[in-house]
Structure 1
């Protein structure tokens, strides 16, 4: 067991599991609910997993079920899940002892996907500064708007702004309002800061730091940074245009808004749908083509080493370049005058196909466990859970304990699975001293 736990990649899932179980136990305490009632194990487990995995799915009416203590605990679990349990632990170690051992640096590297071991101390400080600066900026703007524009008491405005800012940056979807952000869908002073915070949190620290450092010379960005930055921008623009095209005349969503309101609501919903989880327009009332669009965006997710889930933007666009090179008959896959290693192509293909298999298997299982659940609803819920997005078409409360447990497992796998498996592939790379004869089977 000691040898098994010594490897960082094997320890990461265990740490997340322990954190989920601790959160579950705390949420079962009576002071965590408004009516001082006992919370069932399944409800507490689902909520704790949703918070730690920065998903935001809930089987309860969050503002009317959890007390202030419960909401504070959910906020802490979300922050820990977003920063990464091991990153947070390393921050504590760094603050207390001013020193990180090699073992702790290796653990942190497995969580943040940082390239070098020697820069871990500086990386930690930059991560902490970036996270709290972004959350503070969003809190200030949203607090002012709620206080001055909606006549809410200052303390209530501050608490609501801080809660939603932490949720947005960590790409989690818990809300203090029963209908999410529907009341603020056309208010750019609330919806846009939260959307931009979700985008920044979903880029990933490696890509974000390099883009800021080399902002004058984007051509010098690494391939991963280019794929993440430009790919995220393309997905948001394409998604917003497609969403507007589908929902422009839908009277139940954005059809009743004026043109600026349509644009703000569409941009915010697409920015948050990629793993943010806040509901800006009623998800259950969207057209079917919009559901397909959201499922695709949720499955792709955000950037590597970020608070977002999914197969990651870089994985998706790397596979697009692989297809493009194969169609054109190119011998190599190139991105920005850089040849992509064969090992990276195989890793991207493996992660994508495994994710497809997990979503397909989870959808089939959920349909088999639930009576009269439409296929698109099951696919939407499973994709949302696996990609740690948090959007729902409104069927969670009707699921059995078995269905809720299945989504709990998917949220956990979605949070630690792609990262852990990708790291395991990279660390298990080996060279043979011989090669078998080559053969080309018929493809297609």
Structure 2
């Protein structure tokens, strides 16, 4: 069996990724279908069980049932375990694939730009060993990932627990809900154990701030957390990936906050009735959560159409590479902007922070964006045809599914079974698609001993 698995991994890492995620989803679908998993001890319909399994394993946060009331304690434990397995599993899978491909290509694998796994190709040139992440020792790497996840989740839970006690929640329930919320924040899932969602804590800025901290750390990605743990006092030692991730993430976070303030300050259903300080905080919270967090203190359907579009754009971008967040990733966006900037200045090479970025990273970034845009377009057309719902709501929920964000206008919960399957497939493609695409492109590198005649088509 070991030889068979090793053969699959070595011959097709992308197939291995699909098999792993499919097996996990099927297992959790069966478990969620069991009567013991539901609160009323009935069998959950297949489409609801499958959708919940995909949403949990892909750490999305969308739901077709009331997550706070539908599941029994056993079902809630499945959700808690599933999001941690799904969130850490993406990193684990990326690490294993990186190691396998690095052996095949003969150089170290690195978790860098464009997707959850992006081993550099052999023609990309030498890499500074100080900028690389060793993936040869998988056991040590996975232990570091597990420890960082545990520390962050326990830290966030420690911030939430006393606040719940102050708000009158019982000790046992407060302890469970603290760890539940902490796991949902770090994995960027966004499920809530309360029937009211965050309604009970919508004005509790300590509680909301702790959630933002967990979502922010989870969306940065393991390479960034690893760099902080190793050399947080020496930013000059940080890799280009770490610097791009931090700069782009912070820029998008505050840009989103400013845009929400401008677009929603006159909306009485959202921030229109708030004072200046509350509007700033709630706009910042919304900006962080649209990046993949999935929590919300307002009804998403109450947002202006312009705000829905901005939210869709932020969700599509997502978080950092090798993180629990989804989307095309912030480094992908950074690479595209650097390429456009280099082209505008007439430079042949992309440069950032004193480093040159090889052209194959740009090709991979373009591939990831096209993959995401195609997935969103096809799914939106299918959902529009099935539901005849407004385009802005359909687009929002489809992008939320692709980017594994979890925010919803309410459309997903009301989908018929065929629409549920389409959304489930969208979540799966969004979570696994960029990983397998990056691995496939890296593994398919081949040398060509000749060049064809050059000809330039008209572009633009």
**TM-score (norm: length of structure 1):** 0.92
SS of 1:334's partner is strand
Aligned partner of 1:84 among 80, 89, 105: 89
- In structure 2, runs of 5+ residues without a counterpart are 120-132
Q: In the alignment, is residue 200 of structure 1 matched against residue 217 of structure 2?
A: yes
Aligned partner of 1:392 among 396, 408, 417: 408
Distance 2:370 2:160 in 1: 40
Q: CA deviation at 1:398?
A: 2.2
Q: In the alignment, is residue 415 of structure 1 matched against residue 420 of structure 2?
A: no
Aligned partner of 1:354 among 341, 358, 371: 371
Distance 1:321 1:211 in 2: 25
Q: Cα–Cα, structure 1 residues 182 and 240, in superposed 2: closer, same or farther, change >3 Å?
A: farther
Query: Which stretch of the first structure deviates more once superposed, 154-163 or 250-259?
Result: 250-259
Q: In the alignment, is residue 18 of structure 1 matched against residue 36 of structure 2?
A: no
- Summarize the alignment of residues 327-406 of structure 1 with structure 2, pairs less than 5 Å apart: 327-371=344-388, 373-406=389-422
Q: Calculate the aligned-residue CA RMSD, in Å.
A: 2.4
| 1:103-122 deviation digits (Å, cap 9, x = unpaired) | 79989989766843334332
Q: Cα–Cα, structure 1 residues 437 and 85, in superposed 2: closer, same or farther, change >3 Å?
A: closer
The 8 Å contact of residues 211 and 225 in structure 1, kept in 2 or not, is answered as: no
Structure 2 equivalent of residue 128 of structure 1: 146
SS of 1:18's partner is helix
Q: Cα–Cα, structure 1 residues 308 and 411, in superposed 2: closer, same or farther, change >3 Å?
A: same
The 8 Å contact of residues 117 and 438 in structure 2, kept in 1 or not, is answered as: no
- In structure 1, runs of 5+ residues without a counterpart are 92-101
Q: Cα–Cα, structure 1 residues 429 and 112, in superposed 2: closer, same or farther, change >3 Å?
A: closer
Higher relative contact order (CA 8 A, sep 6+): 2
Aligned partner of 1:172 among 166, 177, 189: 189
The 8 Å contact of residues 101 and 443 in structure 2, kept in 1 or not, is answered as: no
Q: CA deviation at 1:377?
A: 0.9
Q: In the alignment, is residue 142 of structure 1 matched against residue 147 of structure 2?
A: no
- Summarize the alignment of residues 306-345 of structure 1 with structure 2, pairs less than 5 Å apart: 306-345=323-362
Q: In the alignment, is residue 34 of structure 1 matched against residue 63 of structure 2?
A: no
The 8 Å contact of residues 36 and 74 in structure 2, kept in 1 or not, is answered as: yes
| 1:15-65 deviation digits (Å, cap 9, x = unpaired) | 111110110101111111111112100000000100000001001111111
Q: Cα–Cα, structure 1 residues 104 and 363, in superposed 2: closer, same or farther, change >3 Å?
A: closer
**TM-score (norm: length of structure 2):** 0.89
Query: Which stretch of the first structure deviates more once superposed, 415-424 or 327-336?
Result: 327-336
Distance 1:428 1:105 in 2: 13
Q: Cα–Cα, structure 1 residues 106 and 49, in superposed 2: closer, same or farther, change >3 Å?
A: farther
The 8 Å contact of residues 106 and 117 in structure 1, kept in 2 or not, is answered as: no
Structure 2 equivalent of residue 97 of structure 1: none
Q: Cα–Cα, structure 1 residues 106 and 17, in superposed 2: closer, same or farther, change >3 Å?
A: farther
